[in-house]
Each structure stands twice: as structure tokens, then as C-alpha cells.
């Protein structure tokens, strides 16, 4: 057999031996979420039931927090009014089923973006509104100053979260013993920690800061340990397949970041109408058809800023009061990770 024939035979044999992995089943395109939102006149969102800084009803029953503001921002983009939202609180175990079933349009519930969630649950994460990481909180009088001193500790944790896996990985990799105290309700888990049913409480650092802030004068009783043991990019989640809605949610976040870059705020947005800057003219909807490309009005970004302000304003209103430093959530021009693609 000559070399050419030998090569062809070998290639055919190798091709026949290859086993092609089956493709991962992709969900069929979902219903037109934007059309459904417009038909009912409301955007239906799900948030955590009580997390200061993220989502919490005020004394008048109005929901407040960074996740709520994102819901309002998307409503402003689609419906022109950030108040046209309906909030359905969800537990960590209910949230994904509620989105899959169509009970809610948008999940903005301090939910971590992971490969498994995006690849296997039929979801897309549209943006990252908070770059976070998992930490541990202890009672200050316990004398613990490092998570590596938690050998043998009982640790309060919620089920159905990335927190459980991260915690187990941390203790195993550091050859430490622990006993998980698994509690579903956020209020119950916090009460268990306060009453010392567990030595430590683990969650995203922002959530731990939110818990401490909710304790008022007693906040100093608790200490957030310095170790951050994971990456927890949090953000809005939509059903996979409805790319028009996905684009709107993603670019709502980018519009808020872009507005901060331009210095456009809730208070001064209208003064930018006469700007000679071409980028700002497109942002304001005076030139170009960016809004129509998304299926929105061309002043969609202006409506977002009028409703909730820019990204920095949303952060200052919700996260700064709970003592969570902006850090890597700053704009890229200030050493952070928040960076918006060009709006053109």
C-alpha cells in the first residue's frame, strides 16, 4: 500500500473510531416576554424576601434595594415607567422553578452566575450588577479572627445555593472539620446565628454586610472575617431563547454604567439633551436608532436614568448604607470591573 492509500485508510479508521458526544439539549425559544410584559402592563420580578441593600419592603410596603432598582430600570426601558413592576419574593429553592415556569419574567435575586446554571437550567445571565464573594461572619466575642480558626465549628448555611459547595470545598481543602446547620428561611438562619445555634454564618459578603446593618446598634457584636473564598458574580437572570428580552436586560445595565461614565444622573439627565457629544446624543436618543434596534423607544436609556439614576447612584443609595465598599464594583476608569461596551 502506498503512503497516500495508507494515510486515507488510517484516517478512515480513526474517523470511524471517534464517538461524537451528543449535543446538550437546548430549550425551545420561549414566548415573547416583552410582548407579554406590554400586554399586562407590568414587569414581574422576583427578589429575596428580606435582604437590606438588595430587596426589602419599606414601612409603606414599597420594595427597595439594588435588585429592585434593576427591575424598575427594565420596566422603565420597556414600559416607560419604573413603577410598573410586581414583585414576587422567592426562596433560594423556589427561584429557578418560578423563572422556568414563566411565573416571573425576571429573576434579580442576588443569584450567582455559574456554568451549570446557565448550561443546564435553561437560563441566561444578562449582566453582573454586583461582583461579590463568599465570606464568614462570627460573634466578635468568640475571639476568632480568621476562617482557618473554624476547625470543628457549626456553620449556618442556606440550601440550594453555591454557598454550600464553596463552604465544603473550603473546609476540605484546609483540612478543617465542620458541621453545617442547613436552614431554608433567611430570617430563620439569621435568628439561628444570633441565638448561637451555629458558631459562624456563611453567605456572600454583601449579604453578611446586609445582615449586620439590619442589627442596628448590635451590629458591632458580629465580625466579618477577612477571607473571601469564592467568586460570586450576581446579576439578573432570564429564560434562554428570548434574545430580545435578554438584550434589553443586558443593555439596561450597560446604560446605567454608561450614564455614570458620562456624568449623567437622575437629577441632571435632561440637561444633556443639547450636548454636542455624538456618544451622548446617541445615548439620549437624539441621533441614531439604538432604541429601535432593541424594540424600544429611542429615549429608552433616558427613561432608565429618570427612573433609578446611573449605576453609581443605585450603588450609593443601596449598598453604601450597609457598609459594603464599592471596590471592584467601581467603574473601570477607577480601578473597578464595571465596563460597558460602546453604545453605537
The tens digit of pLDDT for each residue in 153-200 reads: 999 999 878 899 999 999 999 999 999 999 988 889 999 999 999 999
Residues 131-153, mean pLDDT to the nearest whole number: 97
* pLDDT of res. 30: 54
Q: Are 157 and 202 in contact (CB under 8 A)?
A: yes
Residues β-bridged to residue 182: 157
pLDDT single digits (tens) 287-297 = 999 999 999 99
Question: How far is the C-alpha of 133 from the C-alpha of 15, rounded, in Å?
Answer: 45
Residue 253 has pLDDT above 90, yes or no: yes
Which residue, 204, 45, 24, 28, is CA-closest to 116? 24
Mean pLDDT, all residues of the chain: 91
Please give the average per-residue pLDDT across 241-259, as a whole number: 97
Cell of 109: 435575586
pLDDT, position 7: 45
CA separation for the pair 251, 263 (Å, rounded): 18
Cell numbers describing residue 327: 471596590
CB 302 within 8 A of CB 285: yes
Residue 5 has pLDDT above 90, yes or no: no
Report the C-alpha gap between 32 and 245 in whole angstroms. 8
Region 309-337 average pLDDT: 96
pLDDT tens digits, one per residue of 72-119: 999 999 999 999 999 999 998 899 999 999 999 999 999 999 999 999
Q: What digits encode the pLDDT tens for the residues 6-60?
A: 444 434 443 343 333 333 434 444 579 999 999 999 999 999 998 899 999 999 9
Q: Which CATH number fits domain 33-131+235-324: 3.40.190.10, 3.40.50.720, 3.30.70.120, 1.10.3720.10?
A: 3.40.190.10
- Domain boundaries along the sequence of the chain: 33-131+235-324, 133-231
CA 214, 217, 218, 224 dihedral sign is positive
Q: What are phi and psi of 10, to 5 degrees?
A: -65, -40
Closest among 86, 145, 200, 92 to 211, alpha carbons compared: 200
Q: Which residues, in sequence order, are CB contacts of 62 under 8 Å at separation 6+?
A: none
Check residue 129 and give its pLDDT.
97
CATH code of 133-231, in short, is 3.40.190.10
Residue 137: closest CA among 228, 253, 15 = 228
Give the pLDDT score at 17. 38
The answer to whether the CB of 74 falls within 8 A of the CB of 84 is: no
Amino acid at each position: 500500500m502506498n503512503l497516500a492509500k495508507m494515510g486515507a485508510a488510517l484516517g478512515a479508521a480513526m474517523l470511524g473510531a471517534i464517538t461524537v458526544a451528543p449535543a446538550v439539549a437546548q430549550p425551545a425559544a420561549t414566548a415573547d416576554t416583552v410582548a407579554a410584559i406590554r400586554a399586562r402592563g407590568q414587569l414581574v420580578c422576583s427578589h429575596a424576601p428580606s435582604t437590606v441593600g438588595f430587596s426589602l419592603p419599606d414601612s409603606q410596603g414599597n420594595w427597595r434595594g439594588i435588585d429592585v432598582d434593576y427591575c424598575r430600570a427594565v420596566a422603565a426601558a420597556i414600559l416607560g415607567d419604573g413603577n410598573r413592576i410586581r414583585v414576587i419574593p422567592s426562596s433560594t429553592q423556589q427561584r429557578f422553578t418560578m423563572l422556568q415556569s414563566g411565573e416571573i419574567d425576571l429573576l434579580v435575586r442576588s443569584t450567582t452566575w455559574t456554568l451549570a446554571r446557565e448550561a443546564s437550567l435553561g437560563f441566561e445571565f444578562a449582566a453582573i450588577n454586583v461582583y461579590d464573594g463568599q465570606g464568614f461572619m462570627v460573634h466578635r466575642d468568640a475571639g476568632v479572627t480568621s476562617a482557618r480558626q473554624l476547625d470543628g465549628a457549626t456553620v449556618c448555611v442556606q440550601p440550594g445555593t453555591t454557598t454550600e459547595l464553596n463552604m465544603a470545598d473550603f473546609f476540605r481543602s484546609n483540612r478543617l472539620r465542620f458541621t453545617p446547620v442547613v436552614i431554608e428561611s433567611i430570617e430563620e438562619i439569621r435568628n439561628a446565628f444570633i441565638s448561637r445555634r451555629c458558631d459562624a454564618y456563611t453567605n456572600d459578603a454583601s449579604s453578611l454586610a446586609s445582615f449586620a446593618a439590619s442589627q442596628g446598634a448590635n451590629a458591632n457584636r458580629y465580625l466579618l472575617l477577612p477571607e473571601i473564598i469564592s467568586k460570586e458574580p450576581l446579576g439578573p437572570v432570564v429564560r434562554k431563547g428570548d434574545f430580545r428580552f435578554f438584550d434589553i436586560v443586558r443593555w439596561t445595565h450597560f446604560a446605567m454604567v454608561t450614564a455614570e461614565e458620562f456624568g449623567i444622573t437622575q437629577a441632571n439627565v435632561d440637561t444633556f439633551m443639547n450636548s454636542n457629544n455624538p456618544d451622548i446624543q446617541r445615548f439620549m436618543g437624539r441621533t441614531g436608532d439604538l432604541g429601535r434596534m432593541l424594540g424600544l423607544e429611542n429615549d429608552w436609556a433616558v427613561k432608565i436614568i429618570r427612573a433609578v439614576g446611573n449605576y453609581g447612584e443605585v450603588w450609593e443609595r443601596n449598598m453604601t448604607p450597609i457598609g459594603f465598599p464599592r471596590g471592584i464594583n467601581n467603574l473601570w476608569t477607577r480601578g473597578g470591573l464595571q465596563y460597558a461596551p460602546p453604545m453605537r
